[in-house]
Structure 1
Amino acid sequence: MATASDRELKKGNAELLILALLEEQARHGYEIGKLIAERSEGVLRFHVASLYPLLYRLERRGWVKGEWEPAAGRRRRYYRLTPTGLKILAEQRSRWRAFSGAVNRIVEVRHA
């Protein structure tokens, strides 16, 4: 069961996860959620109720662009990274590397 601190960690990094997946290719919301769960080996999961509002927010900011496309007899909204989104992704990646590196230097056991 996820704790409040687990939810805060996930919430604080959700944008980075989504932007990184969209850098590879355009994706629809369900696929984004599925890939996050798969690649994190089930540690991270986003329910549709939280994922789509985040995608809409990223779209309002101009970081992603959503377009309806036909897929298997139905329409799905595919999201693509915009040039602004690519710039934001680079900035967030850089901050993540600095932050996670600093945390690892503190919490990892060191043997003399």
Structure 2
Amino acid sequence: MRHDAVRGHLDGLLLAVVEPGPLHGYAIIAAVQERSGGALELRTGTIYPALNRLERLGLLRSDWEAVGQRKRRRYELTEAGRRQLDEERSAWRDFTRVIGAVLDPGPTPGAVANGAAT
């Protein structure tokens, strides 16, 4: 899948994968890849600026988790993030319905009647 296909939907993807609970950056990347059946591969250079932006907007919060000698930042949804995710899902459903109606319109109304008349 083209890398630019994610553009405009990255926030929704990130919010959706942290919805079940806190995840660190690489786990978020892995979750997107797994949920997409391997079709979406996000880069760290894309993901971390987006996570930081979502945190600044109050949609995510983060804390530090110690793993052995290392620390890693975990991200989780805030209540504002849950509301935003609901909006993202609604907008996505509307978008796919409208685009689907154009790309795969099905039978044209009146086509059967016109075809039967000939």
TM-score (norm 2): 0.83
Q: Give the secondary-structure state (helix, strand or coil) at the position aligned to 1:78.
A: strand
- Secondary structure of the residue that 2:75 maps to in structure 1? strand
Structure with the higher helix share, 1 or 2: 1
Query: Which structure has the larger Rg over C-alpha atoms?
Result: 2
> Structure 1, unaligned stretches of length 5 or more?
none
Aligned to 1:11: 7
CA RMSD of aligned residues (A): 1.7
- How many residues matched? 108
1:12-51 aligned at under 5 Å gives the runs 12-51=8-47
Q: Percent identity?
A: 36
**Which runs of no fewer than 5 residues in structure 2 stay unpaired?**
113-118
Q: What's the offset of the Cα at 1:15?
A: 0.3
Q: Give the Cα separation in 2 of the matches to 1:76 and 1:70.
A: 6
Is it true that 1:60 corresponds to 2:27 in the alignment?
no
Deviation at 1:108, TM superposition (A): 2.2
State the 4+ residue runs in structure 1 displaced beyond 6 angstroms: none
CA–CA distance in structure 2, aligned partners of residues 24 and 108 of structure 1: 33
